[in-house]
Amino acid sequence: MASFFDTTSAQIGVCYGRLGNPRPNPSDVVALYKQRNIKRMRIYDPDQDTLNALRNSNIELILDVPKTDLERIASSQGEADAWIRNNVKNYEGVRFRYITVGNEVEPSEPAARALFQAMKNIDNAVSRAGLGIKVSTAIDMGATMDTYPPSHGRFRDDYISFLQPVIGFLVSKQSPLLLNSYPYFSYKDDMKDIPLEYALFKPTPPVIDGQYSYHNLFDAQLDAVYAALEKSGGGSLEVVVSESGWPTQGGPGTSVENAMAYVNNLIQHVKSGTPRKPGKAIETYIFAMFDENQKGPPELEKFWGMFLPSQQPKYDVNFN
């Protein structure tokens, strides 16, 4: 297993969303990952064709348990056992890295009440199956507030009500918390105060936060989550960036040029950590491999891919 703080290209994964039509054959997708030296993948549901294509590929995988499954899995250990047996244990030769129970669960959703129990049941199922796979969940920046300056960051009250036991679980298991981090959206929603250069890792006057200096929005967002975790008993946790990217069209600040700048700068930047966590490479997954024309509105949801469905690159990316 690759080291958690490995500073090689293996730190970078890419999310493989499949809501495009046409979409490439999963075996061709796995071949493209290998050709481009992408060592990790995230998928959002246990798609059989993708899992079969990943056998013996040596690509490490984040597999999501969809939100729609959480209540059922929380209700019964047997349901969790069956889910792990059918979607993980049965796929010998696939290198499962994390199982993500729910993606961006919101307080108003039924999945929020089920999340902690579903995570415990999935973790028990992993243990009972004799597998050594970390279990986590993925949040987005919407779970936080007071993120400027980053040291003031904390979780919103409606989120911490269901995330508090999750944080305790992750601490007890020494599992990371997954974060979907999108400087693009923060920039889009506050273009008056956030310079584009600050969002794209380009030279800009730093934001000073006590002893820390921030030269880009990605670090500021990540450290705001670390600050929130410290205030919630999760100061020992590592954060894995399970999604980050930039759209090429469909909204303000979107372009091929900006997406290429963001993604390539991100890949180089995450090798060196944040002001709060210097020297520790940040395990990061780029969103996304392909455009997904079946998503949206809004229109920009269709255009996050680095590649077209034809597998032609939209722009040059150096994954090393």
pLDDT one-digit tens code per residue, 77-135: 999 999 999 999 999 999 999 999 999 999 999 999 999 999 999 999 999 999 999 99
Set 92, 109, 230, 243: catalytic member:
243
User: What's the confidence (pLDDT) of residue 5?
Assistant: 35
The answer to whether position 316 is within a domain reads no
Cα separation, 40 vs 132, in Å, equals: 17
Instruction: Print burial letters for 185-201: b (CB count within 10 Å at least 16), e (below 16).
Output: bbbbeeeeebeeebbbb
The answer to whether position 218 is within a domain reads yes
The answer to whether position 2 is within a domain reads no
Q: Determine how β-strand 134-140 pairs with β-strand 239-244.
A: unpaired
Average pLDDT estimate for 17-40: 95
pLDDT one-digit tens code per residue, 15-26: 998 999 999 999
User: 7 falls in which pLDDT band (50, 70, 90)?
Assistant: very low
For the chain, give the mean pLDDT. Answer: 95
CATH number of the domain that 46 lies in? 3.20.20.80
Set 60, 104, 283, 292: catalytic member:
104
The answer to whether position 89 is within a domain reads yes
The answer to whether position 315 is within a domain reads no
The answer to whether position 248 is within a domain reads yes
Contact (CB, 8 A) for 220 and 274: no
Domain that holds residue 295: 12-307
β partners of residue 178: 138, 240
User: What's the confidence (pLDDT) of residue 185?
Assistant: 97
Q: Is the pLDDT of residue 232 over 70?
A: yes
Q: Is the pLDDT of residue 9 over 90?
A: no
User: 320 falls in which pLDDT band (50, 70, 90)?
Assistant: confident
User: What's the confidence (pLDDT) of residue 11?
Assistant: 81
H-run or E-run covering 97 = strand 95-103
Q: Token match 């210097």: residue?
A: 278
Contacts of 79 (CB under 8 A, 6+ apart): 72, 73, 121
The answer to whether position 62 is within a domain reads yes
pLDDT one-digit tens code per residue, 145-169: 999 999 999 999 999 999 999 999 9
Q: Is 79 annotated in the active site?
A: no
Flag the least confident range among 9-13, 148-152, 156-160, 246-250: 9-13
The answer to whether position 221 is within a domain reads yes
**Residue 12: CB atoms within 10 Å:** 24
pLDDT one-digit tens code per residue, 46-87: 999 999 999 999 999 999 999 999 999 999 999 999 999 999
User: What's the confidence (pLDDT) of residue 126?
Assistant: 98
Contact (CB, 8 A) for 250 and 299: yes
Q: Token match 């003031």: residue?
A: 152
Q: Is 283 annotated in the active site?
A: no
Number of domains making up the chain = 1
Q: Is the pLDDT of residue 4 over 50?
A: no
Q: Is the pLDDT of residue 181 over 90?
A: yes
Q: Is the pLDDT of residue 3 over 80?
A: no
| Helix ranges, the chain (H) | 26-35, 48-54, 70-75, 77-84, 110-128, 157-173, 183-189, 196-199, 217-230, 256-269
